[in-house]
Amino acid sequence: TTTTGATATVRLPDAEATRAFGLALAGVLRAGDLVVLTGDLGAGKTTLTQGIGVGLHVRGQVASPTFIIAREHPPLPRGDGSRGPALVHVDAYRLGSLDEVDALDLDSSLDESVTVVEWGEGWVEALAADRLEVTIARPRGGDAAAEDADAGERVVTVRAVGDRWAGVPLPAAPVEGAGR
């Protein structure tokens, strides 16, 4: 049976808040977890993943890859010498077919790392019964033609699906300190 865990909705006034929310989300993530990010181009999916990367303390800057579809960020040692899971960041925007999805061979990542997939809605769910479904929306998206299309707050909704998340509280508010 599938247990649906908590849901959380948070308003993010600026990009820094989006990063801070990713940092907070990293606090509940562990090896084997899957996060599915949904939202229009420019919604803030990569920005949120950057915060997750900071929170997991992994190597390298999370970016929008031009050619690379999946990038692994290995964990760096924390103050006490321990390491958390690696972050595997998948940007499926350019994936054209399910064959290309198969070719990514995400199985070991789904077992051992934290896997974050942008544009995964509609296919990545089939790979894991347990996942966080994160949707980012622009409530004032009607201004998209305005001078600065990036501006304007976002609303992020997190839905926890599967037994893994039963009873796990989700971060409800952005925290300070996402900057490095």
157 binds Mg ion (CB under 5 A): no
The interface mask with Mg ion, positions 32-51, x = CB under 5 A, is -------------xx-----
- Sequence-separated (6 or more) residues with CB below 8 Å from residue 104: 69, 70, 90
Subset of 99-118 contacting Mg ion (CB under 5 A): 118
Cβ closer to Mg ion: 5 or 53? Answer: 53
Does position 135 interact with Mg ion (CB under 5 A)? The reply is no
Cα distance between residue 41 and residue 142, in whole Å: 14
Task: Report yes or no: 30 and 87 within 8 Å, Cβ to Cβ.
Answer: no
- Indicate whether 44 belongs to the interface with ligand ADP (CB under 6 A): yes
46 touching ligand ADP, by CB under 6 A: yes
- Would you call 146 helix, strand, or coil by DSSP? coil
Amino acid letter at 25? L
3-state secondary structure of 134: strand
Interacting residues toward Mg ion by CB under 5 A: 45-46, 64, 118
Interacting residues toward ligand ADP by CB under 6 A: 12, 14-15, 17-18, 39, 41-47, 64, 118, 150-154
